[in-house]
Amino acid sequence: MGLDARGGVSVVELLIYGPLFFVCGFLILKHGWRREAWIYLLLFSNARVIGAITHVASELSKTPNTTLHIVFSIMEAAGMSPLFLATLGLLSTAGQHTLLDDQPRIRMLLRILKLTAHGALGLIIVGGVLVGTSKVINTINTGIKLRHVGVIMFIVVLWLTIVVHGIYWSNESRILKQRRKVSFFLTKYTNAYLSLTSQLLVATSCALPFLVVRIIYTTLSAYAPTGIPEVTAGSANLAAFNSTTGSFAAYLLMSFLMELVIVGDYVATGLTTNLNQDYESSKAVDEEAFGLNTGANAAYAPAYDSSQSSLRK
């Protein structure tokens, strides 16, 4: 058997996310393990590589292989969780040492959202396994219901992420400069703006519309007909959104390309953002403007009103 259009996309995914896996590893080393956004991007890249390999292997197999089909179907659905967690990770990093310290409720909400995203992922995986392996109709219906619950949890996480994102922008002046603004690099030769670098908060803003489209596709796919005989769950009107047998155009535009834009946005942000500049510049400002005997944590010393620091201008 040869590869169909979806198989071709899997080959492209392998060529893209294979190298990105190592780029994400570099970003983890660059920013540190506590900046978790790029850890989740590495996990997402890993899921896409595994899904692509099993999908291609399934299509090239001379005989139908249920195990391969189940694996790439689960990897397809499992990708949503790392994308959400990467977005929440960027927001967590953007609020470090400022907003999250001042408003512990936001920190707690971010933790709850991360746990909810993990729970949704678990339900979708269990549901996918039940649907793919069971021959008992009641068990298959249970798996479908678990997938529905998982998708609903993702919708709740998305809505609350947008709310938190709005809170961040309403407190934008309190976030450290490298984490909130778009930076321009001015050359000494041309005295002109050369390039535009998206920082963490701006990068999140750019990614959210694409994440909304991606979750819409996931929701429609979850409620599309399964194609399994005697299983009546799903609306026939949503057949085009079946992630396996549905419209290739819908899959390409609402799933593959949306993910690619989001991952590209976050990776580019990681490559062009130097979070350590926040700490280095803060020490210089403190020593010069306030005459402090700075130590490791001098940038956030309580001896002065940090809201007046030029870091946040």
C-alpha distances (whole Å) from 28 to each of 21, 40, 196, 238, 280 are 11, 10, 23, 39, 20
Predicted confidence at residue 115, as pLDDT, reads 94
Give the side-chain half-sphere CA count within 13 A for 24: 23
Cα–Cα distance between 292 and 299 in angstroms, integer? 10
Helix, coil or strand: residue 189: coil
Using 70 as the pLDDT threshold, list the residues of the chain that sit under it: 1, 34-35, 96-102, 172-198, 227, 229-234, 275-313
Choose among 250, 163, 253: nearest CA to 208: 163
Predicted confidence at residue 308, as pLDDT, reads 44
Q: Are 286 and 301 in contact (CB under 8 A)?
A: yes
Pull the structure tokens for residue 146.
């678990």
pTM over 0.85: no
Predicted confidence at residue 25, as pLDDT, reads 92
Pull the structure tokens for residue 149.
């619950």
pLDDT digits (tens, 9 = 90+) for 218-234: 999 888 887 676 666 66
Pull the structure tokens for residue 25.
């590893």
Cα–Cα distance between 76 and 256 in angstroms, integer? 10
What are the domain boundaries of the chain? 79-274
